[in-house]
Amino acid sequence: MTARNSVIWCGLIALSLCGSAALATPPAKLALQGGRIIPVVGDEIASGTILIENGKITAIGEKVDIPFDAMVVDVTGRVLFPGMVDAHSSRGLDVPNEQLPVTPFLDVFDALDPSKLYFEDALRDGITSIHVIVDNNCVIGGVSRVVHPIGLTPDEMTQDVQTSLKLSVAPKRRSDRMVQMATLRETFLELSDYLGDLAETKYEESLEDKDEKIDVGPEEARARGRKLIRSVDYDDKHANLVKLTGGQLGAFVYCETGGDVGRAIRLAKDNGFFDRMTFVLGAACYKAVEEIKATTRPVILGPELIHRERNELTGEIIETFVPKVFADARIKFSLLPHPDGSLGERYLNYQAARCVRNGVTRKKALASITINPAKALGMNDRIGSLQVGKIANIVVFSGDPLDFNSWVDQVYINGIRAYTRDTDVRLKRLFGEETSEVPSGDEKEKVDNEVSVKDSVDQKKPTVTTSEKAGTEKKVTDESKQGS
């Protein structure tokens, strides 16, 4: 084995250890000392310390008493930022959506692939929580789960199981809005029929032991039977819908246009999941911003931040920067990374930086990639900010997170060091040993021009995934030759 090979090998072992880090217990006490802290909730600390005990943040401030037995990591000159949260991603799955339109009985567990490079990239990009959910091409998709990007199996990766069902009021591909809405109505009508029948059956079963058989009529029989149903009585096809209408499951509802928003609200109110609804919005939905605001439900904006529409009279393209509209309406929103890994939009902090460029305040931009998505997932008590009591999901940036010359240097998940740039073999192979080299000032100037930003992004971090993607496709072809 050559020296170079052995370096790669050591790196690979280190990387594969990242994967198994979920199994490892974190050091009991860990102090990240001397960094600039951006807690997102609360004031920035120019130079401070975060103390982590058993995977949770126990102290944070300029001066923290570090216990004698804590491992101290010097992060002087670095920036400590909450692990970023991706509120809606289907990239960990084999296909974004199943062909069947109504699949509330499915679980992403069955298709989640921990070996996807996507998870490795998420870690490298500073994303520590990912809501894995089917994509928008569905009527009702399966249940989702929240994972962190380390672990060898879905079970090891999981932070929260069975969080939400996916619904779409925008038409599934090759369908239309009337069929879409009819299918949704039909599904919930069928559910209520099913529940009525089940209640009657349960009531009749309860009479079997009794001598006296009284016919109370179907209405009364259903009312009495309903109380006798236990959760195990529901079949697979309906169990999750029952949870949804009973408020035990969240609902991520996709709207493509402004018109979809009203339909989504009505659907949610009619079927009892309005209080657990989260909007997943296409760019055109900004037109329904007042309607959305009135609901006070969480908002997730799609990865395309600019809405473009052609004025048919003049031929002019009207561009609207969508997050600005929501920010101006004082709506808290979450941003998503772009699924195309070869664009700058792949990075959540880049998405936030674009918001700042377009007039959204820095505070709101930072919240939209951390605490807001955490809130949309109902996990803001655990993730999304650097506060005492929260899970220690921390990204150590080499500079300000919104400066696109900053690198993710380290990532901590549950207080475990899950990533270090020094041992990132793939980065090293792409850039040589000098990954920390900061591009010249000229390139910083270009940030105003979007096209150039992409160019500079490409120079600095040529995408790792493109070639891999091609590889995956090839793999399938290879396999098809394999035959039976």
Partner 1 sequence: MIPHHYLKSQAFTRGFRMLLAIAIFVGVTLGGVVQVSAGDSPDAARIAVRAGKVLTMDKADVVYNNAVILINNGKIERVGAASKIRIPHGYRVIDALDRWVVPGLVDCHNHTAGSLMDLNDMVYLTNPGLRTLETVMPESENVKQGRAGGVTSVLLIPGSGTNMSGFGTITKMGGDTVDDMVMRSPGSLKIAQAGNPERYWFGVGRSYMNYNTRQTLMKAKTYHESWKAFESGDSSHEPDYNPIYDGFRGLFSRDYPVSVHTQMYQVLMTTVDMLTKKLKLRTVLDHCTFDAFKVAPQVLKTDAYTINGPRQYWFDRSQRKMNGNAARWWQGGVHKLGINTDAPVIPQEELPFQAAMACWYGWQTYPALRGLTRIPAEALMVDKRVGTIEVGKDADLGIWTGNPIDPRSSCELTIIDGRIVYDAAVRRRF
Footprint of partner 1 on this chain (CB under 8 A)?
A: 8, 12, 93-95, 97-100, 103, 105-108, 110-117, 134, 142, 152-153, 155, 236, 425-426, 467-468, 471, 475, 479-480, 482-484
**Residue nearer to partner 1 on the CB measure, 97 or 370:** 97
Minimum CB distance to partner 1, residue 134 (Å): 8
Minimum CB distance to partner 1, residue 196 (Å): 25
**Residue nearer to partner 1 on the CB measure, 8 or 59:** 8
Quote the tokens at residue 351. Answer: 């998405």
Sign of CA dihedral 195, 200, 206, 209: negative
**Residue nearer to partner 1 on the CB measure, 53 or 135:** 135
DSSP 399: S
* Helices 258-270 & 177-207 angle (0-180, nearest 10): 10
* Residues making up the chain, counted from first to last: 484
Residue 278 φ/ψ, nearest 5 degrees: -125, 135
Minimum CB distance to partner 1, residue 168 (Å): 16
Residue 319 φ/ψ, nearest 5 degrees: -105, 135
**Residue nearer to partner 1 on the CB measure, 342 or 358:** 342
CB 112 within 8 A of CB 94: no
Minimum CB distance to partner 1, residue 153 (Å): 6
Contacts 24+ apart (CB under 8 A), 8-11: 8/425, 8/429, 11/423, 11/424, 11/425, 11/428
**Residue nearer to partner 1 on the CB measure, 1 or 214:** 1
**Residue nearer to partner 1 on the CB measure, 233 or 455:** 233
Report the Cα–Cα distance between both ends of the chain, in Å, rounded: 37
What is the spatial distance between Cα 484 and Cα 480, in angstroms, rounded to a whole number?
A: 9
**Residue nearer to partner 1 on the CB measure, 414 or 465:** 465
Minimum CB distance to partner 1, residue 482 (Å): 7
**Residue nearer to partner 1 on the CB measure, 227 or 429:** 429
Minimum CB distance to partner 1, residue 304 (Å): 24
CB 61 within 8 A of CB 102: no
Minimum CB distance to partner 1, residue 93 (Å): 7
Minimum CB distance to partner 1, residue 155 (Å): 8
Number of C-beta neighbours around residue 160 at 10 A: 17
Placement of tokens 């561009």 in the chain: 319
Count Cα neighbours of 369 within 13 Å in the Cβ-side half-sphere: 33
Selection from 117, 114, 98 nearest residue 106 by Cα: 98
